[in-house]
């Protein structure tokens, strides 16, 4: 009985994936910590999902100048909702884990192709500030 339910769920999930459309996005920017480049900061690009776990689309660390660029694709029936998570220790003292800032990418920067047609420029972000919705993350 349960094996049939699992089989049907798997088939439904596979069918949804097959009829989903490929969508892509890209983001770039510069991260600062107290007005100095924030180097080696981990950034992850996700497709935010409300029902299932978020889908990782890309990840990278900032370069010596604090610059980053991420791009990725996801197959979804509906529109993707891309976001980045920034994990850092700027202005953090000795607190455990890392600070996590989440930023959603505007839907204008989502393309219905494998390669993004436009890149969202985040600009320069000062990590020493405190941001609404900021949290701590030990297991990223």
Q: Note the CATH number of domain 21-129.
A: 2.60.40.3330
Average pLDDT over residues 81-94: 95
Contact 108, 116 (CB under 8 A): no
Checking if the pLDDT of 11 tops 70, the result is no
pLDDT-derived band of residue 93, with 50, 70 and 90 as boundaries?
confident
pTM of the model: 0.84
Express each pLDDT in 40-84 by its tens digit: 999 999 999 988 899 999 999 999 999 999 999 999 889 999 999
Q: Domain residue spans in the chain? A: 21-129
């Amino acid at each position: 009985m349960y094996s049939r339910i699992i089989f049907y769920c798997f088939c439904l999930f596979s069918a949804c994936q097959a009829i989903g459309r490929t969508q892509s996005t890209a983001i770039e920017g510069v991260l600062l910590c107290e007005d100095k480049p924030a180097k080696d900061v981990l950034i992850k690009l996700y497709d935010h999902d409300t029902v299932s776990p978020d889908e990782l689309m890309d990840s990278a660390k900032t370069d010596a100048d604090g610059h980053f660029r991420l791009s990725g694709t996801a197959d979804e029936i509906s529109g993707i909702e891309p976001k980045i998570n920034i994990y850092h220790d700027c202005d953090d003292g000795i607190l455990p884990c890392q600070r996590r800032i989440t930023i959603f990418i505007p839907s204008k920067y989502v393309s219905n192709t494998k390669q993004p047609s436009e890149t969202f420029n985040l600009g320069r972000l000062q990590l020493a500030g405190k941001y609404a919705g900021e949290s701590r993350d030990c297991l990223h």
